[in-house]
Each structure stands twice: as C-alpha cells, then as structure tokens.
Structure 1
Amino acid sequence: MTDGAALPVPWLTVTERLPLFPLSSALFPGLVLPLNVFEERYRALVHDLLELPDSGPRRFAVVAIKNGQEVAPTGQDGRDSGAAAGLGDDPLAALYAFGCVADAAGISHRGEEGFELVATGVTRFRLLSVDASGPYLTAEIEELPEETGTGAGALVPEVTRAFRAYQKKLAGSRERTLSAQELPDDATVLSYLVAAAMIVETPAKQQLLEATDSAARLTEELRLLRRETAVIDKLPSLPAVDLVQQAICAN
C-alpha cells in the first residue's frame, strides 16, 4: 500500500465498443436526430443495426468532426475509399474527444437511396479509440455520468429568461407567442435543450457537450445567450425560427 496515494481502480471504468457515425455537429442527450444514410459504409452500419432485436436498443456512437469531412470523397469507381474516408490517416485525431450515444428508434429502407433513420441522443461518452479495419468505423467509448453540479437549480430561471430573450431577437417582427412554449424546469434537460437550440459554431456546442456538469453547462449557456442576443441587436432582421421545436427533447 502506498503512503496515502490513490491507486487507479481499472475495473470501475466500463467501456463499450459501438458503431461510430461522425457528423459535422454535436449531438446532445434528449435530442432527436434524423439522418439520411446513403454512403456505403453507413449503409453497412445500418444493416448491422437492423440485425439487432427489435425489442432492444440499437445503439451507435455519434461524435463531431474536428478536422475532416462528413461525406467521403469517392474514387474513380464511384465508391468511397474506406471506413475512415474523409478523416485522414488518424481518425481519432480528426474527431472530438467527447460524443453522445444514440439509439435508432426508427429505420426506414429507401431502396437504392439508402435509409432514413431517426435516433435519439441517450448519454454522453469519452472517445477512447477508433477502429477503421471494418466496413465502417467502430469506437471504444466510456460513458460519462450525469452530474447536476452546485447551483444548477438557481441558474434555471436565469437561463430560461435569457433563452426567451434570444428567441425573441431571432424571431424579430414575426415573433410567435413564446409563452406558450413550455421549457423544462429540470436543470439537465434544460441545459441540453438550450445547447442544441442555440445557433453557434460547432466548437462552442462541443464545449457545452463536454461541460463537467449541468451547472457548468448552464453557466456557459448564460454567457453565450447574452453574447448572441447582443450580436443579433446589431444585425438586420432575421426570419422567425422556432428553436424549441428544432431541438425536440425526448425527456
């Protein structure tokens, strides 16, 4: 036994290997994700999901692309160049280190056009490794616990007010009746809905996904909402946007 030093407990770290679907943006728990699947590698992924029992989850990992492209370049024969196409020689380095597990609740086959897939974000994960040896990428992941954090409850009304002000600025003169749109009072659910609905660049969304707890996420969202609302004040009028409906929350 060492003199007071904490030793790692490897059996407490639970990892899982899942099919990996890189996207150009971050997915959040509770968010509904529609996908049109047409590339050969992702068709193979969906075929394998369909082999799983209807009664159980059909889980895959979604992670945002940091360096690379979502749609693979094609070769002279019209086929893509492999599981890691578009992500370079080191797909792990091309992806962000945190993502979200998705559950494919609905899959429709569209013949030669591929598949339409509707999935829901389930839980966040840390990306540990990527395997490009198969027909599509797979990832070893470690699921992350949901922590509320200190002061999250007190931040809920502040973020709700700031989000409504942000909505109003985006909607402009064609503003809808925002009071009719119920926002969740659960700190974690609200933090993910706002994160998904805000129109900000991918690095900012990724930072929200990676927040250590709901309180930290809400704190950063409050800062971003105030910043973006101030920016919109200085822009020409924008078309009405129903952000809550765009960020459908399953909770």
Structure 2
Amino acid sequence: MQISTNNVPIFPLSVALFPEGVLSLRIFETRYLDMVSRCLKQNMPFGVNMIEDGHEVGDAAKCYAIGTLAKIINWDQSADGVLQIEALGCQRFSIVDSQVSDQQLRTASIKILEEPVGATIPAECSELITMLQRILNKHQPNNSLDETRFKDANWVSCRLTEVFPMENIMRQRLLEIDNPTERLEVILGLLSAH
C-alpha cells in the first residue's frame, strides 16, 4: 500500500477508528465515491478522523487532529448506487494542515505517529485480557485469535476501546494516547469508576 503524507483524503465520522480495527461504511455522496475510487485505483489509504464540529454529510466537518489511516479491504455496490466498503485501520496520524475542496472534501498533510511494538501489559491490567477474551469469544465464537496478540498492550488496548461501552469522545481521547500501557491504565480506571 502506498502511503503519502500529503493530500490525504479525510473521511470525517462520529466514531474513532483504531489500528487493526475494521470499519464498515455506506458511501453515497459524490465526494466520497470519488475518494474511494481514487483510493482503490491508486492502492492508497484515506484518513478517518472523528468529527469535532459539524456532520458526516453536507459541508466539510471540522475534525480532531489525531486519526487513523484506513485501507479498503472489501467493497460492493448495490443496485441503488450505494457503495459498501470495509476498511482496515492502519497507522495513527496527526493532521499537520488541511484544506477543503470545492466539493467539500477535506484533504490533509499528515504526520504518521509511531506505534510502540511489543509493549507488555502491566500485571495490574491482566484482568483486562481475560475480559477481552470473553467478549471476543462471545461475539466472534468461530474466530480463533493468535494468543500472542493478548500479550501486546497496543493491540489489547485498541480492541478494548472498541468493545467497551463508552462515549465516542472518550474513544477519541484514548486514540490520542501514544503509550499503550497508559491507555490500558485509563481503561482500567474507567471500569473501576462504574
């Protein structure tokens, strides 16, 4: 996949996407149909950023600076012209600057954020692993996951943020945390508060 840090199309959503998370979208606005076509033809990702002010449709929304690049992994077009895509979250990034086209498509210059590799899960957060395993087994019983994934603090913290009930703004705040161990500790604190 080609990753350019300039002129990256931004898809504003009311939710945050995490690395390795899967997002299903229904695309019907011309600006996003054109964006998806370009991304597919050029094998390039688009940015997913949570909306700070505005809406998913209409004029370009103002987005939070931290988002996640998404690669289209599957697509299908219905008879009524609505495009359905599945996109896989890749790297987190920060918007350096952005512009809005006449078509109201936001594009941005971005900085890729480094993901910590192999961060271990602190002992006080070990109960979170068990909870995540139970949740994933319940909702994806036929999906056998590599057990080593449950030792990776970044992967575990991302999956927990996706499955635990919380406000979308809290998910965005968790996405903005660079240290996965810190992200796990915040999640543990949120659970303890309930």
For the aligned pair, the TM-score class normalised by the smaller chain equals: 0.7 to 0.9
Residue in 2 aligned with 1:216?
182
Q: Distance in 2 between matches of 1:20 and 1:132?
A: 10
Would you say the 8 A contact 1:127–1:139 is kept in 2? yes
Deviation (angstroms), 1:207: 1.1
Give the 5 Å matches for 1:65-76: 65-72=51-58
The CA deviation string for residues 42-92 of structure 1, in whole angstroms up to 9 with x for no partner, is 11211222322xxxx4310000001111122xxxxxxxxxxxx152xxxxx
TM-score of the pair, normalised by structure 1: 0.64
Aligned: 1:22 with 2:12: yes
Give the C-alpha shift of residue 125 in structure 1. Answer: 0.2
Q: Does the CA-based 8 Å contact 2:121-2:152 persist in structure 1?
A: no
Closer, same or farther: CA 190–40 of 1 in aligned 2, 3 Å: same
Distance of aligned partners of 1:148 and 1:219 in 2 relative to their CA distance in 1, 3 Å threshold? farther
Alignment counterpart, residue 95 of structure 1, candidates 50, 53, 63: 63
Aligned pairs, how many? 185
For the structure 1 residues 111 and 222, does the alpha-carbon distance in structure 2 shift closer, same or farther, using more than 3 Å as the test? same
Instruction: Specify the alignment match of 1:204 in structure 2.
Output: 170
| Larger radius of gyration between Structure 1 and Structure 2 | 1
Take 2:50 and 2:10, find their aligned partners in 1: how far apart are those partners? 11
Partner Cα distance (1:134, 1:69) in 2: 17
How much has 1:113 moved relative to structure 2? 3.1
Amino acid in the other structure paired with 1:109:
Q
Percent identical residues: 31
- Name which of 86, 89, 93 aligns with 1:125: 93
Q: In the alignment, which residue of structure 1 is the partner of 2:120? A: 153
Residues 158-173 of structure 1 correspond to what in structure 2 (within 5 A)? 158-162=124-128, 164=130
How far apart in 2 are the matches of 1:162 and 1:62?
Answer: 27
Change (3 A) 1:129 1:177: closer
Q: How high is the TM-score relative to the length of structure 2?
A: 0.81
Of 41, 50, 62 in structure 1, the residue corresponding to residue 48 of structure 2 is 62
In 1, Cα distance between equivalents of 2:11 and 2:50? 9
Pick closer, same or farther for the CA change 1:65–1:205 going to 2, 3 Å: same
Q: Deviations over 1:96-146 (max 9, x none)?
A: 110000001112122433201011000000011222125322111110001
Residue 178 to residue 98, structure 1, CA distance change in 2 (3 Å): closer
Distance 1:154 1:29 in 2: 18
Uncovered stretches (5+) of structure 2, i.e. residues with no partner: none
CA contact (8 A) 2:77 2:83 kept: yes
Contact 1:159 1:221 in 2 (8 A): no
Choose the corresponding residue for 2:80, options 112, 122, 128.
112
**Contact preservation (8 Å) 2:128, 2:188:** yes
Q: Normalized per residue, which structure has more strand?
A: 2
Aligned equivalents of 1:165, 1:184: Cα separation in 2: 11
Distance between the aligned counterparts of 1:178 and 1:111, measured in 2? Answer: 30
In 2 relative to 1, CA 190–45 (structure 1 residues): closer, same or farther, beyond 3 Å? same
The amino acid of 1:59's aligned partner reads P
Q: Secondary structure at the match of 1:124?
A: strand
Match of 1:3 in 2: none
Are 2:121 and 2:151, in contact at CA under 8 Å, matched by a contact in 1?
no
